[in-house]
């Protein structure tokens, strides 16, 4: 059965997996990142998450509300847990120095595996798409994962903006 599942998986899915692993490994090392590049993964995760909700459950009914509740919870969690003392803003270059962490890779693999498992489950048992006991936790989790990425991004941007406002364009360490 696993062989059938993997063989029926479109090639673009494996390309997305490769991209996410690559970006997760990059995130494991301390590095300077422009604000624009810092937005890539949260936006990719947002797209994967919303496409999962839309493709599996539609955007009518309770699914988008469950997703939004999860996203808000995840964003608040990430905002409160992001270590601002480890972020160095470099306004002169429009970038930040971020510490390395394996957490983004774990989160990316979690949402990827969850999206994959949900797609397989719905291919085998399509009726689950209408089962609140399946739909609600899935949409909450999709939203929470997206919220974690967005909350971390927003916290980093807030640190950057604060450094930019207090030091001007020459740069600052936060």
Phi first, then psi: what are they for 61, rounded to 5°? 85, -150
Q: What is the pTM of this model?
A: 0.82
Degrees to nearest 5, angle at CA 65 with 62 and 71: 140
Structure tokens at 149: 């990425």
What is the predicted pLDDT for the residue at 13? Answer: 86
Q: Rounded CA gap, 5 and 151, in Å?
A: 34
How many CA atoms, within 13 angstroms, populate the side-chain half-sphere of residue 51? 12
Segment-wise mean pLDDT, segments of 10 residues, the chain, 174 residues? 73 89 91 91 88 89 94 96 88 90 91 89 93 95 94 93 73 46
Closest CA to 112 of 30, 13, 43: 13
Closest CA to 104 of 44, 51, 41, 62: 41
């Amino acid at each position: 059965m696993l062989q059938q599942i993997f063989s029926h998986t479109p090639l673009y899915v494996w390309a997305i997996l490769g991209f996410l692993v690559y970006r997760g490994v990059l995130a494991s090392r301390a590095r300077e990142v422009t604000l624009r590049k810092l937005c890539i993964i949260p936006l990719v995760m947002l797209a994967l998450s919303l496409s999962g909700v839309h493709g599996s459950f539609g955007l009518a009914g309770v699914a988008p509300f469950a997703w939004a509740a999860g996203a808000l919870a995840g964003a608040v969690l990430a905002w409160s847990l992001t270590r601002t003392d480890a972020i160095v803003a470099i306004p002169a270059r429009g970038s930040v120095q971020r510490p390395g962490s394996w957490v983004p890779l774990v989160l990316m693999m979690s949402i990827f595996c969850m999206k994959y498992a949900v797609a397989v489950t719905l291919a085998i048992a399509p009726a689950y798409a209408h089962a609140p006991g399946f739909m609600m936790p899935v949409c909450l989790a999709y939203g929470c994962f997206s919220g974690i990425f967005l909350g971390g991004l927003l916290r980093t941007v807030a640190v950057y903006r604060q450094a930019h406002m207090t030091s001007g364009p020459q740069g600052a360490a936060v």
